[in-house]
Amino acid sequence: MSVTVAVVYHSSFRGNVARLAASVAAGAETVYGASVRLIAVETVDDHWQYLHDCDAIVFGCPTYVGSVSARFKEFIESLAGEIWLDRLWLNKVAGGFTCSAGRGGDKFNCMLDLVVAATQMGMIWVPMPMTGGNYSTQGSEDDLNRMAGYLGVMAQANIDQTSEEAPPASDLRTAEAYGRHVTEVAAALRAGGVRRNAAPASVRPWRLAET
């Protein structure tokens, strides 16, 4: 059975989140029948119909000042018109990922923002399937899920490294595994006939400037 996935992301400082987004998409593509679209948030206006129709959306943005980056927040707020009111994304699968420079860096708050936004839309949030790594003297930075996040992918990139060097391979592999998991859940829900609302062809995102 086919399953369609969108990875919508913002990345501006070093390109770290863009690398994670590519890993999430690569993981999603390993699921049989999956069709995956990577969408930089700046280009979202070219992709609304795909977003309405797809089975899952994975949201990704950097943690800026302990929260969702402003450009990504603008995208989230554009969902607050018909998409929210008419439950257009009801029962669509959702997931998320973020990256910060600090090990903590208040990125949990950013992830919570993503969870709240998705659930306000009536989406079904998929948590990280694996247990946290790097938990003990036997653990290491090479462990999958080394940040021990459970809401989604919590990545970390040293602030003085390029996106070629950071986030590390363990975070990219974690993102890949998560992308695959979200896609498997979406495929299962689709196969089970989960109820979804079709978007009329004319639906546009809500723009504060136009109200």
Ligand X SMILES: Cc1cc2nc3c(=O)[nH]c(=O)nc-3n(C[C@H](O)[C@H](O)[C@H](O)COP(=O)(O)O)c2cc1C
Q: Supply the minimum distance, in Å, between the C-beta of residue 18 and ligand X.
A: 6
Q: Which of 51, 94, 101, 147 binds ligand X (CB under 6 A)?
A: 101
Closest CA to 152 of 135, 138, 169, 171: 171
Residue carrying the six token digits 């998929």: 126
Q: Using the rule CB under 6 A, give the single segment among 14-22, 31-39, 120-128, 136-144 that binds ligand X.
A: 14-22
Question: What is the Cα–Cα distance from 129 to 45, expressed in whole angstroms?
Answer: 32
Q: How far apart are CA 178 and CA 127, in angstroms?
A: 9
Show the 3-state SS of 170-210. Answer: HHHHHHHHHHHHHHHHHHHHHHCCCCCCCCCCCCCCCCHHH
Helix H or strand E encompassing 71: helix 70-77
Selected from 7, 51, 64, 174, the binder of ligand X by CB under 6 A is 64
Binding mask 106-135 for ligand X (x = CB under 6 A): x-----------------------------
Q: Which stretch binds ligand X (CB under 6 A): 36-44, 61-69, 185-193, 198-206?
A: 61-69
Binding of residue 99 to ligand X (CB under 6 A):
yes
Q: Least distance from C-beta 187 to ligand X, angstroms?
A: 28
User: Count of residues binding ligand X (CB under 6 A)?
Assistant: 21
Q: Which residue has the tokens 């009111």?
A: 85
Using CB under 6 A as the criterion, which residues of the chain lie in contact with ligand X when the complex forms? 11-18, 62-66, 99-102, 105-106, 157, 159
